[in-house]
Copies of this chain bind each other. A is one copy, B any other.
């Protein structure tokens, strides 16, 4: 069974998955890199060196078993990327996905093949249809729902997420895009666990009953 999984998705204690004022030079707006410092410190991120504790073992779940990713237009590029025909995503020539990646956008363009196995495809469709398309491309493997917050919220609201790993970072961003809006009672369909880390973050996992 091919699952839809969220990994390493960081929010502030007040629930923002990205800050305000996203731009070419500030992918997460005024949040800067504060939502992801826990991850940059891990061996999973650094490849050699880095921490090997609970933050790392969670971070390492990102890749295994994944055959495709779905992401939102706001993750793929800053506001206005669709006016730049040369834009190829924020990750350089060899993005860290190494699978087909489906970008949900009202401005689709031809697919872009990158180094390392990542190909960006562009879809203007619903979460359920995007997931069906990504599953086909994943060839039996799982599909990562990569964010940002609006995309994850839409997939949760549609009941499409099987497993979700959220990282609560102990900062108050005050403004930006909230993850949790409109999801009252979500916990009823999931087993929820919280694991705090010596780094200060708390890993919260939602695993769908039976998934």
Which residue of B172, B186, B195, B202 is within 8 Å of A184 (Cβ)?
A: B172
Bound complex: CA A175 to CA B172 (Å): 19
Bound complex: CA A98 to CA B129 (Å): 60
Interface residue? A200 (CB, 8 A) = yes
Which residue of B168, B170, B180 is within 8 Å of A187 (Cβ)?
A: B170
Total copies of the chain: 2
Nearest neighbor of A182 in chain B, beta-carbon distance = B174
Q: A15-B14, A195-B196, A202-B202 are in contact. Are A174 and B183 (CB under 8 A)?
A: yes
Residues of B close to A194: CB separation below 8 A: 168, 170, 196-197, 200-202
Interface residue? A193 (CB, 8 A) = yes
Bound complex: CA A192 to CA B187 (Å): 26
Nearest neighbor of A183 in chain B, beta-carbon distance = B172
CB distance from A62 to the nearest CB of B (A): 21
Residues of B close to A13: CB separation below 8 A: 180, 187, 204
Interface residue? A173 (CB, 8 A) = yes
Q: A14-B15, A184-B174 are in contact. Are A200 and B192 (CB under 8 A)?
A: yes
Within 8 A of B (CB), among A161-191: 168, 170-175, 180-187
